A = this chain, B = another copy of it.
Amino acid sequence: MTPKSAYHHGDLRAQLIAAVRELVETHGPDGFSVAEAARRAGVSSAAPYKHFKDRHEILRGVVSEAMDRLRIAMEDGAAAHPIASLEAIAAVGQAYVDFARTEPGVFRLVFSLTEGHENAPDLLAKGANCFGVVVHAVARRLDLRPDDPDVQRRAYMLWSFVHGHSFLTIDMKHKVASAEIDDWSYLMTISRAILAAA
């Protein structure tokens, strides 16, 4: 743990991930280089390859960690409201949007891993878990089982919606869509509409 020796400073993997997260956040998903990350961690540019096979694997590490945080935020959002309430559903969406607003770079990264990341079952699983939070909230609200097709359909609708809004909101920080949008009332409206739709 404690970097006694300067060699083997004991915590490189985590420090690299942190450095990359910062780089991605400030310079965008492409403005990252393993060389710069190594520099920031105070090691040689070859050191990272003792912990990661690829630059891709480092990115996957960042994404994995980010998805954990996202899921927790969503769960916390739901937990802050009465079970089966509409608010609980909207709060899950709010957590999602908040995450995108707070860390747009990382948020983008999470959804841009396409090449070189084909086989990443753990990431797929974590994605499914995030979706699961939505499903769970919807199931509670409708008093149905989570695997009910209707629940799945509505949850997916909600997710599309929140996902799209999140992306649009960070893309056009300088307003394209006329006015500012009040997330909460927006999310409540949508949640209501989707739960009521045929």
Contacts and interface: CB of A to CB of B under 8 A. Distances in A.
Interface of A: 27-31, 104-105, 108, 111-112, 114-115, 124, 127-128, 131, 149, 152, 156-157, 159-168, 171-172, 176-179, 181, 186, 189-190, 192-194, 196-198
B114 A177 contact: no
Contact of A159 (B159, B168, B190): B168
B177 A131 contact: yes
B149 A30 contact: no
A128 B176 contact: yes
Work out how many copies of this chain go into the complex: 2
Contact of A178 (B152, B171, B176, B197): B152
A79 B171 CA distance: 28
A109 to B, nearest CB: 10
Contacts of A128: 176
A32 to B, nearest CB: 10
A178 B152 CA distance: 7
A115 B189 contact: no
Nearest to A177: B156
A112 B179 contact: no
A172 B31 CA distance: 25
14 contacts: A29-B114, A30-B30, A31-B115, A108-B112, A111-B171, A149-B178, A152-B177, A156-B168, A159-B164, A161-B161, A161-B164, A162-B164, A164-B167, A167-B167
Given A29-B112, A31-B115, A179 B161 contact: no
B159 A160 contact: no
Given A112-B29, A163-B168, A189 B178 contact: no
Contacts of A163: 163-164, 167-168
Contacts of A177: 131, 152, 156, 159
A164 B131 CA distance: 14
| Of A112, A114, A152, most B-chain CB atoms within 10 Å | A114
